Structure 1
Amino acid sequence: MRRSMIFCLVTTLAVAGCGVGEQPAATPASGGKVELSFLVFETPNLNAAFWDAAIARASAKVPGVTIKKLVTPNVDRTGYAKQLDASGHLPDILQSVNPAGFAEAGKLAAFTDDELKNFIAPKAGAVGGKVYQLPYNTQVIPVVYYNKDDFAKAGITETPKTYKDLLDVSAKLKAKGITPFVVGGGGADTWADMYPLTATVATDVYAKTPDWLTQRRDGKVKFTDPDFTKAAQKVADLAKQGYIDPAGLSRSYADTEQAFRDGKGAMYPMGSWFATSADNTKPNFEIGAFPWPSDDGTPVTPTFTGGGTSVSASAPNVELAKKWALAFDEDKENNDAFVKLDGSIPAIKGYTPPADMGPVYQATVAIYQQGMTDNSIVNAFSQETGDGSLPPGLADKSALGVQDLITGKKSAAEFASYLDDQWAKATQ
């Protein structure tokens, strides 16, 4: 999940009568003496039945709690949480809401080291050294999913190992009348256009300077510096060479995913959550997966770890809310469901995914595991949380800017300057 990720938010699910400052319809999920509200989001993968079952499992482990389920009515769950907070209705427990801003304002309760002992990356997303969102899930962002039939038609026998190889593959595909990359981001799903840039920032910026965003916050680097501008130029060039079709930007996330399934392009750079969807839908071609390559072939694996539950510092019983949040994120059946439905890679010590997961999921996990072995893990640009993250709202601005980068309305230099301007506005 994220996305910011925003992850895997596919459709806007309206909640009747839910205006700004109003609570969505609430669904009691368990009996008890303390009522805690829990803000979740629904997608085609993670529907109401999934959340109800997961809530019930956690509640069974924490007697004395009644959970009131609240559903985000739009794709921007963090923005919606801010609206609720502004009206004095911040939920007691929040799922996959970016803690930036909330934590600094004292709105969230920090988890202790002992409470984080079962997590593989216990300090992921830390704000001022404290963790306010359970780092329960890892995602590789992006993985390049590809149509093996299209590769065969273009005479491509190996996946690219260097960026030049990726360009060569793209040229061969285009020569056969096959669009190399499927990229979308229409309507409310502008976030879905970010992943080519997330990949090039990983290989050209973060591989060299892992704490680049922290340095940007400290004023030591800028988006207009050569490394970031080079990463943006690669995306602009992919579009200019016809390897990314700008017309695809009008597609929603769901339509973009379907376009790849329908054979409208050979490569689909997307977060690892696509893996389960790919295995479950099974188009009429075999899907493979490879990591976005760097210039010299040195492995770089952009990931996000976090996305779990947060607890409001003003919950009626903070300790009980934290206990429930931990029960929700550490429950084996809950994590199995997240894996099967949403392609999660749970970052829980000792957790093993179900043995019957499909080949695309297994290939995706293999990329992550290789990244761990190679020590090539870096952050995924625009997905970060904690101290080394974009200011609130800037990820959305970045996605809008990427559209201009792909359509040619902004040069790489203009795009970089735009991000510096937006950073200044966001941090005034």
Structure 2
Amino acid sequence: MRKWFTMCMTLLILSSLLAACGGNSSGTKTNDPAKPADNGTKTTDTKDVEIVFQSWITPNLTVAYYDSLINRFESENPGIKVKRIQPPANEGNPDSYLKSLLASGDFPDVVQNATIQMFVDADALLEIPIDDDIKKINNYEAEMINGKLYNISAIRQPQSLIFYNKKLFAEAGIESTPKTWAELEAAAEKLKAKGITPLLTAGDWTAGFTFSVMTSPDIYKDNKNWYADRFDNKVKFTDPNWIESATYYTNLVKNGYFNKGVLSIDYTAVEQEFLKGNGAMYPMGSWFSAAEANSKKDFEVGVFATPTKDGTQYLLGGENSGGYAVAKMSNHPEAALKFAKFMMLDPEAHKGILQADALFSNLKEPLKWDMSPLQTEIYELLLKNPPMVGHMNNKVGRVPVSGIQDQYNKVAQNILLGDTDVAKNMQSLDEYWDKNNK
């Protein structure tokens, strides 16, 4: 009798624990091995549920920006509550943060700005149905992985840009913006001779970003499938074209053209350094123009495409990337997908993110927003250039191996610390690739 009673109590406790585990709206769930894996197509009641949203906070995309959108979504969708979380500051993307949440079983229902391939490989993301909403997006097919879509985004974001202080250029007698490596080096020498810091960067993710946008255009303009070819071992980071491009960048550092103490400041700080007039050129993506539009300063900012060796203009950037994805094991996939669509495709929300982060609509019927003079210059550059490919951790024919961005950062930081062994630094990228190519 006692044995029977003990068995019943054990079953009761187990049942209670399982019920409690099923109530976590944001965590992942372990599939019963005796049942087929959940394919993400289940439906749930979207009333009285809470979903967890991992937001990406920047100087442009602030807490207040997200909270205002969440408040509007909740008021238009009674019964759905959105809990917002965010990764630590000074990361180039939320990947490390999300990997730790995935490992702990607390993966959010909706994620933003993640490296999609990484979490598809981890079987963490829901396949997005190709419905009439998705068909409003230009070229959404290019973001598919093995014929399936996992990311909702409808933006274009040019990144290989150099912003410049027109007042400092004039003081140094520079009459035209550089188009070639040689012209940029000559401009930097003129600025340095006047006691002006020619180039600004920072020691966090900004270092790897700067290295990538100043070297990659010369490689990818001639091979828009470079990452795909790297997987096939047709190309390497130690090929002569990469060595030459990395040597050019290393010489910029050797010649003292970057700001001193670069590794001691971060992205937010270096942006302010440029806006204070403490440097002439600032390599950064189009989102900087949103901060520039709201700043007070006594000089005008211009922009040009990152120079290449022969002067051929070619922009790198993102198209339909950096958007919103839904957790495959979300307990509330309908609510999560509804929120993800709202954040990118709702007309007011779409226009809001364009203006907040200086992006350009990639809807088939693009939404317009009031651009500043600098943003209009970027838009004209975008119109004059062929379609962009990515760089660093974005697709160049194919998405690179996971975590390559961190290795770019290490290479750039080594160079900024005075390591001039170009072959060794580029070899480290090949070694990282080969080690992580699974």
Residue in structure 1 matched with residue 412 of structure 2 by the alignment: 402
Residue segments in structure 1 that go unaligned for 5+ positions in a row = 1-22, 25-30
Is residue 2:149 matched to residue 1:138? Answer: no
CA distance in structure 1 between the aligned counterparts of 2:76 and 2:137, rounded to whole angstroms: 19
Shift of 1:145: 0.4
Which residue of 406, 423, 428 corresponds with 1:413? Answer: 423
CA distance in structure 1 between the aligned counterparts of 2:309 and 2:86, rounded to whole angstroms: 43
CA distance in structure 1 between the aligned counterparts of 2:135 and 2:354, rounded to whole angstroms: 22
Change in 2 beyond 3 A, CA 1:213/1:165: same
Q: Which SS does the other structure have where 2:205 is aligned?
A: helix
Is residue 2:422 matched to residue 1:425? Answer: no
Shift of 1:61: 5.2
Which residue of 280, 292, 305 corresponds with 2:294? Answer: 280
Shift of 1:387: 7.4
Residue in structure 2 matched with residue 150 of structure 1 by the alignment: 168
CA distance in structure 2 between the aligned counterparts of 1:195 and 1:247, rounded to whole angstroms: 18
Q: Letter of the 2:191 partner, please give it.
A: L
Residue in structure 2 matched with residue 105 of structure 1 by the alignment: 122
Which residue of 79, 84, 104 corresponds with 1:69? Answer: 84
Shift of 1:342: 2.0
Residue in structure 1 matched with residue 40 of structure 2 by the alignment: none
Which residue of 57, 64, 72 corresponds with 2:72? Answer: 57
Residue in structure 2 matched with residue 197 of structure 1 by the alignment: 211
Normalising by structure 1, report the TM-score.
0.85
Q: Letter of the 2:164 partner, please give it.
A: Y
- Percent identity (aligned): 32
- 2:180·2:308 contact (CA, 8 Å) conserved in 1? yes
CA distance in structure 2 between the aligned counterparts of 1:211 and 1:383, rounded to whole angstroms: 14
Shift of 1:229: 1.5
Is residue 2:230 matched to residue 1:216? Answer: yes
Within 5 A, what are the aligned runs for 1:16-415?
32-59=47-74, 62=77, 64-74=79-89, 75=91, 76-114=93-131, 115-185=133-203, 190-245=204-259, 247-305=261-319, 306-355=321-370, 357-371=371-385, 375=386, 377-385=387-395, 388-415=398-425
Q: Which SS does the other structure have where 1:179 is aligned?
A: coil
Change in 2 beyond 3 A, CA 1:170/1:280: same
Change in 2 beyond 3 A, CA 1:386/1:207: closer
Q: Could you list the per-position Cα deviations for residues 129-158 of structure 1 after superposition, in whole angstroms to 9, with x for gaps in the alignment?
A: 322112322211121100001111111121
Q: Letter of the 1:303 partner, please give it.
A: G
Q: Which SS does the other structure have where 1:103 is aligned?
A: helix
Normalising by structure 2, report the TM-score.
0.83
Q: Which SS does the other structure have where 2:149 is aligned?
A: coil
Which moves more between the two structures, 66-75 or 396-405?
66-75
Q: Which has the larger radius of gyration?
A: 2
Q: Which SS does the other structure have where 1:194 is aligned?
A: helix
Residue in structure 2 matched with residue 11 of structure 1 by the alignment: none
- 2:389·2:395 contact (CA, 8 Å) conserved in 1? no
CA distance in structure 1 between the aligned counterparts of 2:252 and 2:354, rounded to whole angstroms: 32
- 1:57·1:328 contact (CA, 8 Å) conserved in 2? no
Shift of 1:65: 2.7
Q: Which SS does the other structure have where 2:107 is aligned?
A: coil
Residue segments in structure 2 that go unaligned for 5+ positions in a row = 1-25, 28-45
Shift of 1:174: 1.8
- 1:141·1:198 contact (CA, 8 Å) conserved in 2? no
Shift of 1:117: 0.8
CA distance in structure 2 between the aligned counterparts of 1:165 and 1:386, rounded to whole angstroms: 27
Q: Aligned residues, how many? A: 391
- 1:124·1:135 contact (CA, 8 Å) conserved in 2? no
- 1:124·1:131 contact (CA, 8 Å) conserved in 2? no
Q: Could you list the per-position Cα deviations for residues 82-102 of structure 1 after superposition, in whole angstroms to 9, with x for gaps in the alignment?
A: 111111111111111222221
Change in 2 beyond 3 A, CA 1:386/1:166: closer
Change in 2 beyond 3 A, CA 1:127/1:386: farther
Q: Could you list the per-position Cα deviations for residues 271-330 of structure 1 after superposition, in whole angstroms to 9, with x for gaps in the alignment?
A: 111001011113221111111122222220111121110011111232442233112211
Runs of 4+ aligned residues of structure 1 deviating over 6 Å after TM superposition are: none
Shift of 1:57: 3.2
Q: Which has the higher helix share?
A: 2
Q: Which SS does the other structure have where 1:117 is aligned?
A: helix
- 1:142·1:195 contact (CA, 8 Å) conserved in 2? no
CA distance in structure 1 between the aligned counterparts of 2:50 and 2:373, rounded to whole angstroms: 42
- 2:209·2:392 contact (CA, 8 Å) conserved in 1? no
Shift of 1:71: 2.6
Shift of 1:398: 1.2
Change in 2 beyond 3 A, CA 1:282/1:347: farther
CA distance in structure 2 between the aligned counterparts of 1:411 and 1:334, rounded to whole angstroms: 47
CA distance in structure 2 between the aligned counterparts of 1:385 and 1:203, rounded to whole angstroms: 14
